[in-house]
Structures are given as structure tokens and as C-alpha cells.
Amino acid sequence: MSSRVTQAEPDCGCAARAQSDPFLSWVGRLVHDHRGGLLAVARAEGLGAEDAFDVVQEAFGTFLTLPAARSLVDARDDSRFLLVAVTRNLARNRRRLAAVARPHDGDLDRLAELPAPGRTIEDLLAAAEDQVRLRGCVASLGELQRAVVTLRMLDEIDGQDVAGALGITPGNVAVLLHRAKANLLTCMTNETERNAS
């Protein structure tokens, strides 16, 4: 008679934490209930299976960092609508990337005749410094302004969807975005002057 030895998996306490925190339990249900539909949305936007999977994971990550995520625990439809909007926008952005764009065939002789890009090393360094300054300025915004800037300008989510996600009116989204742009312009100008002196 042979005895089988089973190796028990280590208990990380994840199940107990999920049961004690309704938000964690809800996140598990959210992923389970919507991942298939979100994959279909990403595939419908023209992505391959692997890219669609990456986009869905990124969409869940983006969704969970929203300030209004905890308020949507009991709002199943609102959660789904926002997840679909985030997934669709991320999929469109991903599709636009040169890495996943449709390959183009070209005549090598004609390609060689095209002028090379005129950006110098100094131009590239200046652009990189601007990016670093912009990130610092975005980080200095208030939480709600930062969320509006991220969703509206970087993720290109519609103002109505952003308003629903954050639990504010579309007019308030427009005002917050306008003020955030003014704050970013002031911050970038001050940073440039400070670096120049």
C-alpha cells in the first residue's frame, strides 16, 4: 500500500483578508465576472490575444487606482461601463503603437532616400527633461485634478465617463481639467525658469 504525500500550499491569509474586506472580495468577483467580456472588447478593437490580455490587466489596474473605485462596490453596471470604457481606450491606444501596427512593405531604395529625422541629441535630452518636469508637476496636483488629467488627457476617456467614475458632474470635470491645465502651465514655466537660472 503506497501512501501519497500531498504538499499543502502555504496559507497567505488572502482568503481570510478577502472575506473580511468587502472591497477585496468585490475585486475578485469583478475580475471573474468581466474578464471575458473585456477581452472581447479589446479583441474587437483589433488586438491579438496576447495584447488584449495585457490591455485587460492594465484596465483593471487603472480602474482600481481611481478614487471612486471603492464607491462602486455595489454598482455592478457602473463598474462594468467604466471598465469597458477604460479597456476600449487602452486597446485603441495600444493598437496605435508602432509595435503592434500592421507592418508596411516598402521599397528599400526609396526608404533610403527619405531624409533622416532631424532631432539632435540635445533635442532628445530637452524633451526628456520636459517629460520629467511634467511628471513632477502632475504629481503636485491634487488627487481629484490628477485623476481628471490622467483619465481625460492621458487615457482619452470621455468627460461623461470620467464624471461617472469620479462621482462628479461633467461640468465639474471640465472645470477641474481647466484649472489643472493652468496649474501645469504655471508649474512647467516656474520649473523652466528655475533651471535656466
pLDDT digits (tens, 9 = 90+) for 76-100: 777 788 888 888 988 888 887 745 5
- Greatest mean pLDDT range, 8-17, 77-86, 136-145: 136-145
What is the mean pLDDT of the segment spanning 23-44? 81
pLDDT at 168: 92
Cell of 115: 531624409
pLDDT at 1: 46
Measured CA to CA, the distance from residue 27 to residue 139 in angstroms comes to: 26
Enumerate the domain spans of the chain: 14-96, 119-196
* pLDDT(6) > 60: no
Cell of 184: 501645469
pLDDT at 4: 47
Taking only the tens place, the pLDDT of each residue in 47-72 is 888 888 888 888 888 877 877 766 77
Average predicted confidence (pLDDT) for the chain: 76
Start-to-end CA span in the chain (Å) = 84
- Binned at pLDDT 50, 70 and 90, residue 103 comes out as low
* pLDDT(43) > 70: yes
Q: How many CB atoms lie within 10 A of CB 185?
A: 11
Taking only the tens place, the pLDDT of each residue in 149-178 is 888 887 888 888 888 888 999 999 899 989
Burial zone of 72 (CB within 10 Å; 0-12 exposed, 13-18 middle, 19+ buried): buried
* pLDDT(5) > 50: no
Measured CA to CA, the distance from residue 161 to residue 86 in angstroms comes to: 9
Taking only the tens place, the pLDDT of each residue in 116-140 is 666 677 777 777 777 788 788 888 8
CATH number of the 119-196 domain? 1.10.10.10
* pLDDT(28) > 60: yes
* pLDDT(193) > 80: no
Query: CB of 39 within 8 A of CB of 53?
Result: yes
Helix (H) or strand (E) holding 40: helix 22-44
pLDDT at 116: 64
